[in-house]
Amino acid sequence: MNDVQTPRSTHTPALARWLGFALALFLATGCSSEARDVTVFFSNNCAACHGINLQGGTAPSLLTNVWTQGADDISIARAIREGNPTKGMPAWKEALTEAEIRAMVVLLREKIAKAQSETNIVAKPIDGEVVASVEHKFRFKTVAEKLDSPWSIAFLPDGRMLVTELPGRLRIIEQGKLLTNAVSGTPKVRAQGQGGLMAVAVHPGYQTNGWIYLGLSHGVKVDGKDVSMTAVVRGHIKDNQWTDEQTVFRAAQDSYLPKTFHYGCRLVFDDKGHLFFSIGERGMKEHAQELTRPNGKIHRVFDDGRIPSDNPFVGQSNAVPSIWSYGNRNPQGLVRHPQTGDLWETEHGPRGGDELNLIQRGRNYGWPVITFGMDYNGTPISALTAKPGMEQPVIHWTPSIAVCGMDFYFGDSFPRWQGNLFVTALAQQELRRIVLDGQRVTQQEVLFKNIGRVRDVCTGPDGLIYVALNGPNKIIRLEPVK
């Protein structure tokens, strides 16, 4: 796995014989057709030379970014596969499958990122502290505290903020104050695991129709077992009560699952009366490729739930007619560019391979046939990162940042952030600013880090940026500092 120039003197004939013996032993005892944890393989076969954290041993450190055979994923995979006999590194192509070689690349990316994170300095601000980013100085102000797992933010035209709490409550923040009582009468949810009351969105015509939309994990019992699936409803709020509820989307009951994760669930309107929403594959990888199932898809319906006749799979007896795209693992962010109309999506990869996608009609986004990640237990999922007929992400994050909600900024408070895409992350606890040139990412900046799991971001009518944090369970906003 040596992909850097190694001094000839570091690989003695004895070491070369030892490496050859290790390879022969592995081929005799450890090479099976079953997926293996590449972390164990690395520890047993690579760490002696490269160091368990890539800090180097008998071979130089791999943390210097000096990779003589190339530092891109393809070059690293080739180095693992073919080795470098002149430097004493064995070829692992007989010991590792192509899928395992891909997983090994992910492992190396994780180790490199971990080492870099220990030296990079990123703001971890507190209320009132000034942060100097590339384009703007800003400070935080806490808007609301003591929430219970805030999941989604939306604003009413009068400036009131709606916030969902995952256990099943809808809260209102009015004039900077969190109302004591949650909105009563909201739909019952299956609040287990990652499920609960998730997305909230306000209809573009709210001032005339008053519709508010909720995405949730809808639960039922089948044969005495609790099962659930993502559902969408709409209703009105009158005197702090949820009323006039209507079902916008509910899947066929035979598609409901007992698992309590990967619900996806973001809600986005276009300017033609359509509602887009996401459903994760619910932990069933193969379902994302099956058009007969709703999970692992982006859907499009009219705002009342009717199916548009120009949806890509309308009229096919073996397809759910609301499907707009498929092969999506766990879509956690969904937003429409207010100027171009492009639909952008972020989705969780497994261990590696979080994606930023441009969602287009009828396209297949590949999961789990292609992925830049591996499974959580260190075993591979696929050898393929690309395949004809399947879309590539605009970018992918490997290692995973656990990408979540996002929003385009077009406010007045931060003029040099106009048109930037703001993306949240759970595991890495960060807010990223992404600069786009059309449909191409040209720059990323981490604005802050490690103040909580960053669940959602939303531009307020005042032009300020509002962020939902899990962990401290509060809403904060970014305010400009001159």
Residue-wise pLDDT for 191-249, tens only, equals 999 999 999 999 999 999 999 999 999 999 999 999 999 999 999 999 999 999 999 99
- List, as own/partner pairs, every contact residues 118-124 make where C-beta atoms lie below 8 angstroms and the sequence separation is at least 24, other chains included: 122/430, 122/446, 122/448, 122/449, 122/450, 123/447, 123/448, 123/449, 124/448, 124/449, 124/450, 124/451
- For residue 460, give Cα distances in angstroms to 94, 149, 356, 393, 457: 56, 20, 23, 29, 10
CATH (domain of 89): 1.10.760.10
Q: What is the pLDDT of residue 284?
A: 98
Does one domain contain both 82 and 135?
no
- Identify the residue whose tokens are 């180095």: 79
* Chosen domain end from 64, 90, 117: 117
| Cα atoms found within 13 Å of the Cα of residue 269, Cβ hemisphere only | 19
On whether residue 2 sits in a domain, the answer given is: no
Instruction: Identify the bridge partners of residue 456 per DSSP, sorted by sequence position.
Output: 468
Does one domain contain both 153 and 80?
no
Does one domain contain both 327 and 250?
yes
Q: What is the pLDDT of residue 86?
A: 85
Does one domain contain both 242 and 317?
yes
On whether residue 266 sits in a domain, the answer given is: yes
Q: What is the pLDDT of residue 304?
A: 98
Q: Is 262 a catalytic residue?
A: yes
- The one-letter amino acid code at 136 reads H
- The one-letter amino acid code at 278 reads S
CATH (domain of 136): 2.120.10.30
Residue-wise pLDDT for 134-179, tens only, equals 999 999 999 999 999 999 999 999 999 999 999 999 999 999 999 9
Does one domain contain both 87 and 187?
no
Angstrom distance (rounded) from CA 173 to CA 147: 11
Does one domain contain both 80 and 144?
no
Q: With 60 as the cut, is the pLDDT of residue 362 above it?
A: yes
Cβ neighbours, 10 Å, residue 307: 16
Q: What is the pLDDT of residue 71?
A: 87
What average pLDDT does the chain have? 92
Q: Which domain holds residue 189?
A: 130-481
Does one domain contain both 402 and 257?
yes
- Identify the residue whose tokens are 């450890």: 30
Instruction: Identify the bridge partners of residue 481 per DSSP, sorted by sequence position.
Output: 137
Q: How many domains does the chain have?
A: 2
* Chosen domain end from 87, 117, 147: 117
Instruction: Identify the bridge partners of residue 278 per DSSP, sorted by sequence position.
Output: 298
- Out of 11, 136, 218, 262, the active site residue is 262
Does one domain contain both 209 and 349?
yes
* Chosen domain end from 88, 117, 146: 117
On whether residue 38 sits in a domain, the answer given is: yes
- Whole-prediction pTM: 0.92
On whether residue 136 sits in a domain, the answer given is: yes
Does one domain contain both 109 and 141?
no
Does one domain contain both 100 and 184?
no
Does one domain contain both 67 and 213?
no
Does one domain contain both 154 and 289?
yes
On whether residue 48 sits in a domain, the answer given is: yes
Q: With 90 as the cut, is the pLDDT of residue 126 above it?
A: yes
On whether residue 124 sits in a domain, the answer given is: no
Query: Residue length, the chain?
Result: 482
On whether residue 91 sits in a domain, the answer given is: yes
On whether residue 312 sits in a domain, the answer given is: yes
Residue-wise pLDDT for 282-314, tens only, equals 999 999 999 999 999 999 999 999 999 999 999
